[in-house]
Amino acid sequence: MKKIALITGIAGQDGTYLAEHLQPLPYKIVGTVRRMTPEIRHLIDSIDSDIELLETPELSASITQEIIRQYQPDELYNLAGQSSVGRSWNETTETLILNGQSIVYWLEAIRRFCPQTRFLQASSSEIFGLGSEHALSETSLIAPINPYGLAKSMAHHVVGKYREWFGLFLCNAIMFNHESPRRSTSFVSRKITMGVARIALGLQDQLPLGNLDVVRDWGFAGDYVSALWKMLQIQNPEDLVIGSGRAYSLHDFVRLAFEVIGKDWKKFVIQDPELFRPADVIRVQANPAKAKAVLGWRPTVQFRDLVRMMVEHDMQQVSLEIRDDSTNTPPQGPSDSEGLLR
């Protein structure tokens, strides 16, 4: 008999990788999306056409209770929310509600109608705020410095308290930066790789960025979702740091991305003061020792390979866009055609 896995935010980067991870396993997969579109349905069908999608524009106690009562999920992966630290400064209320408050609806519904559900909350390294010179673990101080981190820390604490008070199987996966070709271009990692691809193909001559000195623990999202799944298969619930244990600066990311196309980044990158955040964490590095011990999990994609993967994907995507544009362009006069070739 198949288990039922409910994935909130299934159309996002982590949701699609998790659905792919679960697809060959004995699961019936149900996913939530804020808005159903033909593009989202096509995306999910490309993974598994049997995945059931639920449209949830807004969450409430009644909506989450109805979902839990109807599907009685064996596992619930809460990946939905406002995912951008930068946007959280302009969308503070929405971020606090979606990433912080809404988790209570799910936990209350589980407690009342399906207490056997195993629940995973996608927590974040942003809960640690300014971080530390040392690698961060499950016992590091939680002291967020931005609205996104505050919302995630609220949810993190709620999970811990519900686990303590009601004996439910609830976990926090404290994920450090995890990227992929599926990242939105609003994220700096994808902004870099897409910009490098466009520069390589002659469509862009500058790449404006903010603070290049920030240091992050970067990993591949496809690796990290396997850790999420493993967390719900162990005997007792744990909060675990999920990261590579290695730290690189944004400067390193930029340099490696330009190395893929054989160009000197210094000739193209400009620093734009408007892209600096009001408050930014300078250095963040994970200590994933507990996850390695408890789950036997280790990342498989190294930093350099991740950057190359993303640049090469974006080169292909931009090339396809150029081809599609040229195919759809109506015939031009001789002077216009000459201009297109220059």
Question: 27 an active-site residue?
Answer: no
* Averaged pLDDT of the chain: 92
Domains of the chain: residue spans and CATH: 3-182+218-242 (3.40.50.720)
CA distances from 169 to 29, 102, 110, 225, 232 (A): 19, 18, 10, 18, 8
Residue 96 to residue 113: CA distance in whole angstroms: 26
Q: Residue written as tokens 């002291």?
A: 143
Q: What's residue 328's pLDDT?
A: 67
Per residue in 188-207, pLDDT (tens digit) is: 999 999 999 999 999 999 99
- What residue type is 288 in one-letter code? P
Per residue in 6-53, pLDDT (tens digit) is: 999 999 999 999 999 999 999 999 999 999 999 999 999 999 999 999
**138 close to 175: Cβ distance less than 8 angstroms:** no
Q: Would you list the DSSP string of 38-84?
A: HHHHHHHHTT-TT-EEEE-SS--HHHHHHHHHHH--SEEEE--S---
Q: What's residue 173's pLDDT?
A: 98
Mean pLDDT on 321-336: 59
Q: Which of 17, 77, 148, 162 is catalytic?
A: 148
Residue 41 to residue 90: CA distance in whole angstroms: 30
Is the confidence at residue 333, as pLDDT, over 70?
no
Q: What's residue 341's pLDDT?
A: 24
Q: What percent of the chain has pLDDT over 70?
A: 94
Farthest-apart Cα atoms in the chain, separation: 76
Q: Which of 126, 153, 179, 224 is catalytic?
A: 126
Q: Residue written as tokens 């330009």?
A: 258
What does the chain come to in residues?
342
Taking alpha carbons only, the member of 230, 196, 269 closest to residue 118 is 230
Mean pLDDT on 275-297: 87
Q: What's residue 86's pLDDT?
A: 81
Per residue in 213-236, pLDDT (tens digit) is: 999 999 999 999 999 999 999 999
Is the confidence at residue 319, as pLDDT, over 70?
yes
Q: What's residue 1's pLDDT?
A: 85
Q: Which of 83, 88, 124, 244 is catalytic?
A: 124
**268 close to 258: Cβ distance less than 8 angstroms:** yes
Q: What percent of the chain has pLDDT over 90?
A: 83
Is the confidence at residue 278, as pLDDT, over 80?
no
Question: 126 an active-site residue?
Answer: yes
Sequence-ordered alpha helix ranges (H) in 139-242: 147-166, 188-200, 221-231
Is the confidence at residue 339, as pLDDT, over 50?
no
Is the confidence at residue 336, as pLDDT, over 70?
no
Torsion of CA 45, 30, 226, 165, to 10 degrees: 160
Q: What's residue 164's pLDDT?
A: 98
Which pLDDT band holds residue 180 (cuts at 50, 70, 90)? very high
pTM for this structure? 0.92
Residue 11 to residue 41: CA distance in whole angstroms: 9
How many Cβ atoms from other residues are within 10 Å of residue 48's Cβ?
14
Question: 189 an active-site residue?
Answer: no
